[in-house]
């Protein structure tokens, strides 16, 4: 059984839109599509076996939810080719969300989308969530915000971090 303890880590990150896009240098069409996004869902492990990108179970549903519920001016994409997409199931009570990367300008929109997704899809009392948001700052550097804790505390915890940046 999990306690209500929250693990939050804010740290510099080497992940940027450019580092994600560099994995698609051989596919210029896909790279151009991904470059238009202000929010990307990215795999935990890119090119794990040379051709597969590993995402947590439920990533397609998360992506569809983002597309349906995001403002029209916010472009969202998932950083993979269909034939390189693989979901990895973790057998635990923890709900693991795919890693996301977003420009600082849309960080609050991303937080709202993730929070609404959590509350719309996770109905079990006491559910825990694990997520990572990478925010690309105005100066081009990136900050990773990792959360592992109760679903009910997600929004307030991450909002406070974003507010104090």
**In which residue are the tokens 């151009």 written?**
32
Please give the model's pTM, rounded to 2 decimal places: 0.86
Supply the DSSP symbol for 97. Answer: P
d(CA 123, CA 120): 7
> Which residues of the chain are under the pLDDT cut of 70?
1-4, 45-52, 90-93, 123
Q: What is the pLDDT of residue 123?
A: 67
Given a contact cutoff of 8 angstroms between Cβ atoms, the answer to whether 62 and 117 are in contact is yes
- Say if CB 16 and CB 157 are below 8 A apart: no
pLDDT, position 17: 94
pLDDT the model gives residue 40: 97
d(CA 148, CA 165): 20
What is residue 26's predicted lDDT score, i.e. its pLDDT?
Answer: 82
Strands of 5-141 (E only): list them: 7-13, 39-42, 53-56, 76-78, 85-88, 94-96, 99-103, 128-136
User: Would you state the pLDDT for residue 85?
Assistant: 81
Q: Which residue has the tokens 């609050």?
A: 108
Predicted local distance difference test score (pLDDT) of residue 94: 78
């Amino acid at each position: 059984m999990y306690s209500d303890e929250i693990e939050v880590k804010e740290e510099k990150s080497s992940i940027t839109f450019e580092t994600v896009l560099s994995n698609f240098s051989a596919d210029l069409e896909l790279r151009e599509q991904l470059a238009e996004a202000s929010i990307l869902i990215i795999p935990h492990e890119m090119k794990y076996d040379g051709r597969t990108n590993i995402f947590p179970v439920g990533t397609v549903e998360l992506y569809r939810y983002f597309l349906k519920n995001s403002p029209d001016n916010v472009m969202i994409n998932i950083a993979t080719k269909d034939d390189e997409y693989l979901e990895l199931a973790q057998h635990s009570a923890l709900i693991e969300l795919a890693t996301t990367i977003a420009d600082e300008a849309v960080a609050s929109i991303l937080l709202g989308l993730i929070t609404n997704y959590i509350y719309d899809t996770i109905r079990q009392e006491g559910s825990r969530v694990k997520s990572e948001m990478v925010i690309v700052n105005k100066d081009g550097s990136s900050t990773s915000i990792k959360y592992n804790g109760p679903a009910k505390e997600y929004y307030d915890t991450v909002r406070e971090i974003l507010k104090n940046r």
